[in-house]
């Protein structure tokens, strides 16, 4: 399937983006073009709530603007519009509210300690959005143009809506089949939109308590499905079980797969364990692999792996003083089961565990219930500078990510955005 | 989990409806109440297009009205509103366009040869909508009240929009998480709506050509998933493969499951095969079972099974002259594989195959491609009164269903609706 010119080592993402570009080159219809963005500013902007305003906990307060772009099969991409935030006109026959023809991204914009506005690896989100969109039968979305649109959007709204150093705002690019057509078929119209939503400051003080899924609670993803992509269909079906878990005092579900109990994700986050390998005794940071397309290729997941390899492995490319007290480890992307974790716990080989993702960032795990009356008490031996209990590796990685996001260090992952404001 | 008072033989549906009623009884919040329906009639109604108007093929022409009901976790159910058809106000943060928190039903209203308006087993659709809604973390929907609302809606719009005998209009009840809240959590607001959409007359003249799915095309449903419920998340993820199959000259995908190639559904329809059993040599009508919750409990599927048992089996409860030429058969709900069909074809034991569902009704299958250059030519030895090629069993069952739907016979499945019109 791969074009001959693409090197064998290319990742699935790279292959698909490459294929998409070929398609775009062939199309004579107007393409997604960020340079065509038009601006209609909101003259009745809202008031920015304080950081501790409880309204932030509702996750429904948006900023003054949204950005929308319409696509039709016949006409291609229209000019993107930045315009006052408001409702979407969706007809009751729109595919997106019947057939889950929808995909999205989760990103954040960060206000640095230096006062600068940054995005964190926005290229990865935009590439993934393209993959998710095509997985759900929506059009390919040129990642570079989408990234440019995200940058333009935050450049307008963040000067006002993200004033405080070391705070963030959540960004949600999404694509939906917005056309009125009730047939169960590949959509002929779509709308890409970008909004920003206020979140409360989030720190997990004492670690998250996870409930390992049973088969009657559902399965998050499966071989041949779409667990690897950020489509709506991966989320709604998990909420019933999540709601029940919360009523029982857990924060999230640890999604297992198959009768062997393969560990996949925690809630809507990737999941990592630090343990001593049963056979070799070597210290490992382990997470499920991407190869079988069950697991979301998380931007935070990828960053954790890359930082751990470069700073915590036996062959580090960067040597940092502050982790000299931490034992070096192997970074392993490999399938493992809930029984493997339980056994490591019983043997005293379990060191720590954490979930990670854009929304919850790096969240240490304190407990995993895997049988009716049986749980795994996950060690959390460190207290971070912000007063949270954590494992030492999660704490180190979290600190490094924050340094990049909030501009405490200069790093290519932290992309500075010029600010123009709403004028 | 089941309350002790429920008999062991109760079906999953009955159990859940029973549990739901208990929940409703406990709630002190306003419940769904069809008697509170308010009417705001459309004073600028549309023109009904002719039956052969190509606009019907777009599946986006609706009638003059829609019916909406809002639910909130805090306030319970509001009064249902019948009002002019128009767009839904959906905020960009609404859960339904991000997390596939949506479920729906497919029904039809029929204009009989006697001029009367009928629904076909609407109780089954309404019970299933309740199950689908709770599966996707939306509120339970009292099936009896929903049925009453559907009846009220068609009673208003069908006098004008369904004038011709032996025609139908498609009805779409749906429920979506309509509240503005971007958190990945159980929705706190929902909207139920009912609309009617014009379809073109549909007959499959020469049978449908199916492409059996390969693992790289995805999987429709899986154990522990939600294939049994009518949630949006079952549909969007199949459209990419469906689009590719159409480009290759196939009508639908025959969705297989697992390395053994278990036959599940055809497109968004249930699937039946008539063959001679390999071991016993007995004639069988076989379809995949509901027990493992992979398969949609289709209203047409159920009706096919019940009619085949009562009229075509070795112990019929109704004896009909017109099928005396047809050999009696066993009705079997059991897992079978694509290799089983291929083997029956090679042995000369394959008699016919058909898909069935509300949208496509009973659609004979002419061909199934299951290997790159290898296909199964499915026999179609009958021509129906409307000029379509078909297997004889599919033709008989289709005729019986039409007789009930269009009031050619009196039958409890055909529910006559009083008509009031829009005044």
pLDDT tens for each residue of A312-344: 999 999 988 888 889 999 999 999 999 999 999
| CA B10 – CA B1 distance, rounded (Å) | 13
Q: Which of B189, B74, B233, B231 lies closest to A59 in space, CA to CA?
A: B189
The whole-number average pLDDT for the span B365-377 is 93
Q: Which residues on B lie below 8 Å from A224 (Cβ)? A: 215-219, 222
User: Mean pLDDT in chain B?
Assistant: 91
**Could you tell me if residue B148 is inside a domain?**
yes
**Could you tell me if residue A378 is inside a domain?**
yes
pLDDT at position A181 is 85
In terms of average pLDDT, the best of A96-110, A177-191, B197-211 is A96-110
A231, B218: Cβ pair inside 8 Å? Answer: no
A243, B181: Cβ pair inside 8 Å? Answer: no
Bridge partners, B254 (sequence order): B212, B266
- Contact with chain B for residue A420, Cβ under 8 A: no
B88, A97: Cβ pair inside 8 Å? Answer: yes
Look at the alpha carbons of A325, A330, A334, A340 in this order and tell me if their dihedral is positive or negative.
Answer: negative
Percent of residues, chain B, with pLDDT higher than 70? 93
> Which of B92, B104, B215 is facing A88, going by the closest CB pair?
B92
The whole-number average pLDDT for the span B307-317 is 96
Q: What pLDDT band is residue A23 in, cutting at 50, 70 and 90?
A: low
Interface predicted TM-score (ipTM) of this complex, two decimals: 0.93
pLDDT at position B20 is 46
Of B197, B218, B253, the last residue of a domain is: B197
pLDDT at position B1 is 29
- Contact with chain B for residue A79, Cβ under 8 A: no
**Could you tell me if residue B416 is inside a domain?**
no
Q: B64, B198, B236, B268: best mutation site toward chain A, by most A Cβ within 10 Å? A: B236
The shares of helix, strand and coil residues in chain A, as percent rounded to the nearest 5, are 30, 30, 45
Shared domain check, A105 and A180:
yes
Residue A7 has pLDDT above 70, yes or no: no
Backbone φ/ψ region at B293: left (φ over 0), alpha (ψ -120 to 50), beta:
left
pLDDT at position B26 is 59
Shared domain check, A44 and A121:
yes
Residue A151 has pLDDT above 80, yes or no: yes
**Could you tell me if residue A252 is inside a domain?**
yes
Q: Which residues 107-146 of A are in CB contact (within 8 Å) with B?
A: 134-137
Q: Phi, psi at residue B339, to the nearest 5°? A: -65, -35
B90, A91: Cβ pair inside 8 Å? Answer: no
Residue B76 has pLDDT above 80, yes or no: yes
B104, A98: Cβ pair inside 8 Å? Answer: yes
Percent of residues, chain B, with pLDDT higher than 90? 79
> Would you list the DSSP string of A386-415?
TS-EE-HHHHHHHHHHHHHHTTSS--TTEE
- Give Cα A405 to chain centroid, integer Å: 15
Query: What count of Cα atoms within 13 Å lies in the side-chain half-sphere of residue B137?
Result: 28
Residue B281 has pLDDT above 90, yes or no: yes
Shared domain check, A96 and A147:
yes
- Contact with chain B for residue A184, Cβ under 8 A: yes
| Strand ranges for B372-412 from DSSP E | 374-377, 382-383, 389-390
B236, A236: Cβ pair inside 8 Å? Answer: no
Q: Which of A104, A340, A398, A365 lies closest to A252 in space, CA to CA?
A: A365
Shared domain check, A96 and A139:
yes
Of A197, A221, A249, the last residue of a domain is: A197
> Which of B96, B231, B237 is facing A136, going by the closest CB pair?
B237
Q: Domain containing A354 — which CATH number? A: 3.20.10.10
Shared domain check, B157 and B192:
yes
Shared domain check, A89 and A227:
no
Residues sharing a CB contact under 8 Å with residue A176, sequence separation 6 or more, in sequence order: A94, A96, A101, A102, A138, A190, A191, A193, B97
pLDDT at position A323 is 84
Residue B388 has pLDDT above 50, yes or no: yes
User: Mean pLDDT in chain A?
Assistant: 91
Shared domain check, B134 and B56:
yes
- Contact with chain B for residue A268, Cβ under 8 A: yes
Q: A20, A98, A267: best mutation site toward chain B, by most B Cβ within 10 Å? A: A98
**Could you tell me if residue A405 is inside a domain?**
no
The whole-number average pLDDT for the span B302-331 is 94
- Contact with chain A for residue B87, Cβ under 8 A: yes
The whole-number average pLDDT for the span A175-179 is 97
Structure tokens at B232: 């949006």
Cα–Cα distances in Å, from B23 out to B19, B20, B29, B421? 6, 5, 11, 35
The whole-number average pLDDT for the span A213-240 is 88
- Contact with chain A for residue B97, Cβ under 8 A: yes
pLDDT at position A215 is 75
Backbone φ/ψ region at B59: left (φ over 0), alpha (ψ -120 to 50), beta:
left
Note the pLDDT tens digit of each residue in A249-272: 999 999 999 889 999 999 999 999
Q: Are B201 and B230 in contact (CB under 8 A)?
A: no
B347 Cα to chain A: minimum distance (Å): 32
Shared domain check, A331 and A212:
yes
| CA A350 – CA A344 distance, rounded (Å) | 5
A236, B231: Cβ pair inside 8 Å? Answer: yes
**Could you tell me if residue A219 is inside a domain?**
yes
- Look up the domain containing A153 and give its range: 12-197
Cα–Cα distances in Å, from B390 out to A101, B203, B300, B325, B349? 34, 11, 17, 16, 17
Q: Which of A158, A408, A396, A232 lies closest to B103 in space, CA to CA?
A: A232
Residues sharing a CB contact under 8 Å with residue A36, sequence separation 6 or more, in sequence order: A79, A80
Q: Domain containing A177 — which CATH number? A: 3.30.470.10
Residue B18 has pLDDT above 90, yes or no: no
Q: What pLDDT band is residue A219 in, cutting at 50, 70 and 90?
A: confident
> Which of A223, A225, A242 is facing B185, going by the closest CB pair?
A242
Shared domain check, B182 and B115:
yes
B239, A99: Cβ pair inside 8 Å? Answer: yes
pLDDT at position A26 is 59
Q: What pLDDT band is residue B373 in, cutting at 50, 70 and 90?
A: confident
Of B148, B166, B197, the last residue of a domain is: B197
**Could you tell me if residue B50 is inside a domain?**
yes
pLDDT at position A224 is 79
Shared domain check, A78 and A184:
yes
Q: A15, A57, A92: best mutation site toward chain B, by most B Cβ within 10 Å? A: A92
- Contact with chain B for residue A100, Cβ under 8 A: yes
**Could you tell me if residue B422 is inside a domain?**
no
Number of domains making up chain B? 2
| CA B189 – CA B179 distance, rounded (Å) | 5
- Contact with chain A for residue B66, Cβ under 8 A: yes
Bridge partners, B330 (sequence order): B284
Q: B88, B97, B216, B261: best mutation site toward chain A, by most A Cβ within 10 Å? A: B97
B136, A240: Cβ pair inside 8 Å? Answer: yes
Residue B140 has pLDDT above 60, yes or no: yes
Shared domain check, A221 and A108:
no
Shared domain check, A296 and A192:
no
């Amino acid at each position: 399937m791969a074009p001959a010119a693409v090197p064998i080592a290319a990742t699935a993402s790279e292959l698909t983006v490459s294929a998409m570009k070929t398609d775009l080159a062939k199309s004579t219809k107007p393409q997604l073009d960020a340079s065509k963005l038009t601006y209609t500013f909101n003259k009745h902007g809202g008031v920015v709530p304080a950081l501790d305003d409880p309204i932030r906990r509702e996750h429904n307060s948006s900023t003054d603007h949204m950005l929308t772009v319409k696509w039709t099969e016949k006409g291609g991409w229209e000019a993107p519009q930045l315009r006052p935030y408001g409702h979407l006109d969706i007809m009751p026959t729109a595919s997106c509210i019947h057939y889950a023809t929808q995909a999205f991204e989760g990103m954040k914009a960060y206000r640095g300690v230096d006062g600068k506005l940054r995005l964190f690896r926005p290229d990865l989100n935009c590439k993934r959005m393209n993959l998710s969109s095509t997985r759900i039968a929506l059009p390919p979305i040129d990642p570079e143009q989408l990234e440019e649109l995200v940058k333009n959007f935050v450049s307008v709204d963040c000067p006002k809506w993200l004033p405080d150093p070391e705070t963030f705002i959540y960004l949600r690019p999404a694509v939906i089949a917005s056309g009125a057509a009730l047939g169960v078929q590949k959509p002929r119209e779509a709308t890409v939109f970008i909004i920003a939503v206020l979140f409360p400051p989030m720190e997990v003080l004492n670690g998250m308590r996870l409930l390992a899924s049973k088969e009657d609670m559902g399965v998050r993803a499966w071989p041949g499905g779409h667990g690897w992509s950020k489509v709506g269909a991966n989320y709604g079906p998990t909420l019933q079980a999540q709601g029940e878990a919360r009523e029982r005092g857990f924060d999230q579900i640890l999604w297992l797969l198959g009768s062997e109990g393969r560990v996949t994700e925690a809630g809507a986050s990737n999941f990592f364990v630090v343990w001593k390998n049963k056979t070799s005794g070597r210290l490992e940071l382990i997470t499920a692999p991407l190869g079988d397309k069950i697991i979301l290729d998380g931007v935070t997941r990828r960053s954790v792996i890359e930082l751990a390899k470069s700073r915590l492995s036996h062959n580090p490319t960067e040597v940092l003083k502050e982790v000299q007290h931490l034992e070096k480890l192997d970074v392993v992307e490999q399938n493992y089961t809930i029984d493997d974790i339980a056994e490591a716990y019983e043997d005293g080989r379990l060191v720590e565990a954490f979930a990670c993702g854009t929304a919850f960032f790096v969240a240490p795990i304190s407990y995993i219930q895997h049988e009716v009356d049986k749980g795994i008490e996950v060690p959390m031996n460190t207290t971070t500078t912000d007063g949270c209990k954590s494992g030492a590796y999660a704490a180190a990685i979290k600190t490094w990510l924050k340094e990049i996001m909030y501009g405490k260090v200069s790093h290519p992952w932290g992309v500075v955005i010029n600010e123009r404001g709403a004028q």
